Structure 1
């Protein structure tokens, strides 16, 4: 039998199959089939996650409701004290404050008091080292006592019988002690208060003491008259 002379390239190819389904022809008018991919499990779970928020979020309403009680449990702010709030024998003691060499230098520069007794070397000091200015200690005491108590002070009247009992050295920690020893009326809306003021070191030793006299306003003074 003679061999075929047909060109193999002219032969029609057989149907090509990649699975058990027969090959289908696609015309130009037929749109390509789009296969949607299933969303990942995390996205599928979003609706249920939104419907059921995490425990932390669910607990927010309860936490918000508990805020008033939490606020009420906070320590009260130090209120302003008026004449009606004060009594003889009341005592306040302040926090500690350290007296540094920078404090002493700044006070010397401010006042012009550069006495060698207060310098770095403390030359001439009977204590063998420099000491802070006595008036620096008095000023620190006045500042510490501003909020202990926080009184409705109208005027500073006098400093009486002030004594410098012991030195304050660089680095010492001090605090103020304030005690009411006398109250007397002053006009209709204020009282005159006599305070025993003491500057104590961290061992409790008195370094200086004396009396401050101030005017403290009454509660009625702060009230506005109705129009």
Structure 2
């Protein structure tokens, strides 16, 4: 199925999820300022994320973003599609997270994800949906890959 972007449905319920359906988020450019703010919020001030010279000495062209910044950015970019704005009950977590390539300041990134499974919950008003997601650089390089479980409302409940 072709990726969906501008005309993505909003407020998907569990019943609306089509396995294999793929979505692509809008692009976002990573900046030094954003990396620094993430370091401040998380208290992770490792020089690799804040010092271009040190990052170069470690083999990178410049500072790199935290891996968890990339994972957090994945969720934020997905939320721009508003697929679950009023129907998501909770994130149940991320699995199979892999940091495949460094996220560099200046990279323009996007998220591509597809629904890979779904199951009813023990409660009749909700179901669990699993997405396979990748954070990709503008050249198509996969930076982060993971699976995300979301608890969604069911229709009529």
Query: Which bin holds the TM-score, normalised by the shorter protein?
Result: 0.7 to 0.9
- Structure with the bigger percentage of strand: 2
Aligned equivalents of 2:7, 2:23: Cα separation in 1 = 17
The residue matched to 1:95 in structure 2 has which SS?
coil
For structure 1, list consecutive stretches of 5 or more residues without a partner in the other structure. Answer: 1-74, 222-227
Aligned equivalents of 1:181, 1:149: Cα separation in 2 = 19
Runs of 4+ in 1 over 6 A off after TM superposition: none
Q: Among 196, 209, 212, which residue is 2:132 paired with? A: 196
Distance 1:144 1:76, change over 3 A: closer
TM-score normalised by structure 2 residue count:
0.87
Residues 158 and 212 in structure 1, CA contact (< 8 A), matched pair in contact too: yes
For structure 2, list consecutive stretches of 5 or more residues without a partner in the other structure. Answer: 1-5
How many residue pairs get aligned? The number is 147
Q: Which residue of 1 aligns with 2:110?
A: 175
Aligned equivalents of 1:135, 1:122: Cα separation in 2 = 22
Do structure 1's residue 214 and structure 2's residue 150 form an aligned pair?
yes
TM-score normalised by structure 1 residue count:
0.61
Aligned equivalents of 2:115, 2:16: Cα separation in 1 = 12
- Structure with the bigger percentage of helix: 1
Could you give the per-residue CA deviations for residues 158-199 of structure 1, whole angstroms, max 9, x where no partner exists? 211100000011110000112110001112121111110110
Tell me the C-alpha RMSD between the 2 structures: 1.8
Q: Which residue of 2 aligns with 1:141?
A: 74
Aligned equivalents of 1:140, 1:213: Cα separation in 2 = 16
Do structure 1's residue 120 and structure 2's residue 31 form an aligned pair?
no
